[in-house]
Amino acid sequence: MSDQEYRDAAILADEAGRLFGLGKDRFLRSVACLPTFPEPVGLRPKAWIRGEVLDWRENHRAERLAA
């Protein structure tokens, strides 16, 4: 899988949660519900584009470090 294919892949809540060190339920309650978090591309089950989630995580990590 190329880097672009990796970033373009859809991921479910359990994998997205692992990117934040969270379980699926905690991720859905504390991260996915934030208004700035990327919109899901699938609703049942919820799914997000991995690259968008990674970018969001990096941007918000930088904001926390700057605060």
Condensed to tens digits (0 to 9), the pLDDT of residues 13-67 reads 999 999 999 999 999 999 999 999 999 998 789 999 999 999 999 998 856 655 5
Cis peptide before 40 (omega within 30 of 0): no
Say which amino acid occupies 36: T
Q: Count the Cβ atoms, other than its own, within 10 Å of residue 45.
A: 10
Question: pTM for the whole thing?
Answer: 0.86
Instruction: Return the DSSP state at 40.
Output: P
pLDDT of residue 64: 64
pLDDT band at 1 (very low <50, low <70, confident <90, very high): confident
Which residues sit opposite 39 in a β-bridge? none
pLDDT at 20: 95
